[in-house]
Structure 1
Amino acid sequence: MTEQHTSAPMTGEAPSTGVPPVPGVPPVPGVPPVPGVPPVPDHPPVVAPVRGRKDRRVPRGVLRWTVAVVAFAVAGASTAYGVTQMKRTDVPGLATRSDGRWDYPAIVRPPLPAGSPAPFADANKGTSHYADLRGLVLPAPKGAKPDKRLRGDHGWLTTKVFLSEYATKEDRAALADTLRDRGLRHIAARGWTMPDGTRTRIYLLQFDTGLVAGRVQEEQFTDYTTPVRDLRGAPLALLDETFPEAAKTAHVSHHVYVEPRPYGAEQVRQAYLTAGDVLALVVQSRKGGAKKIPFQQTVVLQEQLLD
């Protein structure tokens, strides 16, 4: 069975209730008329006075309509204020492009071979990804310039290119031995550079089972507060406590780190993901500082592809 995730268009328009607006009161953007309340006429009803008796009905009628109009105006204004004061991410359907996120294409998982279970199905005891690993690498966003160095041979990257991310010769040698001994099967990768200079590199390493991938991650790559091995350009990296844990997917664990100030020519952000038999590394770097929002967006989307 083919699993597909697509990004559905979102809109912030409220459904129409069919109730006309209140005359004389300007409509409040984003606030529909109150259902079940009849429209207010342009003028209050005129009642003929009764002779010989002091008529109080006209002033009372005017007062009732005035109070109603004021009440609707206040209620509408209060609702609009509530919406505009909320965070963009708290308002369902409201676009948030202006927060710095990138324009990614629709995310679609590659098809599973006939008869193969999904990675986290009950029948899949090894939590293995049977889909083509190359199709599980996050595609580049709009405006990105591809990194030709990470294209590999027919989409398969050599271990040497992956190890070049690490700073010291000793770490590269130790990792090479571990990956060989643990039976690394494939490395798929993709990289790109955005117009603002942000460089992204994503690596997916596939092992025989989820148990093996988890052990490699714990022994060779991550600790709670810092990564086990330094990346090039990031001699110090600390746990990124600003990463939104609410965005975490069900079957993917992550360790997210950020290079603190003062950093060198570039700031580096990195995340290790473990999803069944796949161990992933996501790296973003940028001169003057790697921005938080596109990094978080990239990590979350890659998690969703592996989940």
Structure 2
Amino acid sequence: MSEQTVTPEKDEAPPALAPHPLPEGAPPLPDAPPLVPVAADAAPRPPRRVLRAVARWTAAALAFGVLGTGTAFGIASLERTDVPGLATEGDGRWDYPELSLPPLPVGSPRPFSPGNPAEIHHADLRELLLPAPAGAKPDKKLTGGWISTETFLDAYREQDRRSVAQLLKDAAPRHIAARGWTMPDGTTSRIYLVRFNSTAFASRMIDDLNVGSSAGTPLARTDTTDIDATWGSANDLENLSSFVFAEQAPFGAEHVRQAYTLAGDTMALVVHERPGKRETALIPFQQTLILQNQLLA
């Protein structure tokens, strides 16, 4: 996916993104690539959020001993290996391209701006899908475009697909988009975005799948799946809620990590699956989830 750069109006200050800490005990993730701000016709976020984000970036810069500019843009302009504590060598991160928010239709607000109390995503849902990282082999069925309900149902166990199909029929989603790929180590990644007519329908879908204290309706090729204790609420972006799970030992021929995110009118499902008896790597999974959530925020 090629980079998209959207230039804001001269008088509009672009929003800054705050870094999100990894769970306690997990190796540190380097900062994610900054998102390019959305088009000028989108309503800006409240100034207070921007100030809080800039303040957090400034504090992080001071903590790492970065001299000169202490803003988010100062750090973003540096190479990762130039910032103490943010070297990427050997940490297992995938090499994603620089991210950018897609332009919005003229006059349409961002999903969580004051002018959008219904929390509707007006951008093209396909443009909100995370692009594949370097070295990935694209999934021929999940190409980043629209998919059918039947294709989405393939994510679940065969015996549960009829009940999930009925839930989708009742909730009547507007669109489903998906992208998938396979990495050189055999890890497959699948991201599904399901947009509903309102936040209420998206939230109800999460509830009807019984997602919360458990992973709910089992995904295909999963056995015992439980809450991933390495993910905490501090990892969630403002206005978004993620429910993160990992398959527990002993698992079968694959190890699966999965997460649902509720983002206004849209539900995201992120799945990483690795064949064999080795666990799916934690760092790339959480990296993928954080970056996808940033695109939805």
- Residue by residue, what CA displacement relative to the aligned partner does 1:9-63 show, whole Å, maximum 9, x if unpaired? xx989659xxxxxxxxxxxxxxxxxxxxxxxxxxxxxxxxxxxxxxxxxxxxxxx
Equivalent pair of 1:157/1:188 in contact (CA under 8 Å): yes
TM-score by length of 2: 0.71
Distance of 2:210 and 2:129 partners within structure 1: 20
TM-score by length of 1: 0.69
Q: Secondary structure at the match of 1:104?
A: coil
Aligned to 2:54: none
Aligned to 1:95: 87
**Structure 2 stretches lacking a partner, 5+ long:** 1-5, 9-13, 18-31, 35-60, 69-79
Partner residue of 1:271 out of 259, 265, 269 = 259
What is the aligned-residue RMSD (CA, Å)?
2.5
CA shift, 1:132, in A, is 0.3
The answer to whether 1:220 aligns with 2:209 is yes
The answer to whether 1:108 aligns with 2:100 is yes
Distance of 1:188 and 1:128 partners within structure 2: 16
Aligned to 1:7: 33
Q: Secondary structure at the match of 1:204?
A: strand
Equivalent pair of 1:146/1:191 in contact (CA under 8 Å): yes
- Residue by residue, what CA displacement relative to the aligned partner does 1:215-265 show, whole Å, maximum 9, x if unpaired? 1111224031x2111111112100000125433210110100000111111
Aligned to 2:247: 259
Partner residue of 2:274 out of 278, 286, 295 = 286
Q: Secondary structure at the match of 1:162?
A: helix
The answer to whether 1:133 aligns with 2:125 is yes
Number of paired residues? Answer: 229
Aligned to 2:220: 232
Aligned to 1:158: 148
**Structure 1 stretches lacking a partner, 5+ long:** 17-87
Distance of 2:89 and 2:167 partners within structure 1: 42
Task: Indicate the structure (1 or 2) with the bigger Cα radius of gyration.
Answer: 1
Task: Give 4+ residue runs of structure 1 displaced > 2 Å after superposition.
Answer: 1-8, 11-16, 91-94, 244-247
Aligned to 2:196: 207
Equivalent pair of 1:126/1:211 in contact (CA under 8 Å): no
Return 235-244 or 129-138, whichever deviates more: 235-244
Q: Secondary structure at the match of 1:147?
A: strand
Partner residue of 1:246 out of 234, 244, 254 = 234
Q: Secondary structure at the match of 1:218?
A: helix
The answer to whether 1:172 aligns with 2:161 is yes
Q: Secondary structure at the match of 1:151?
A: strand
Aligned to 2:45: none
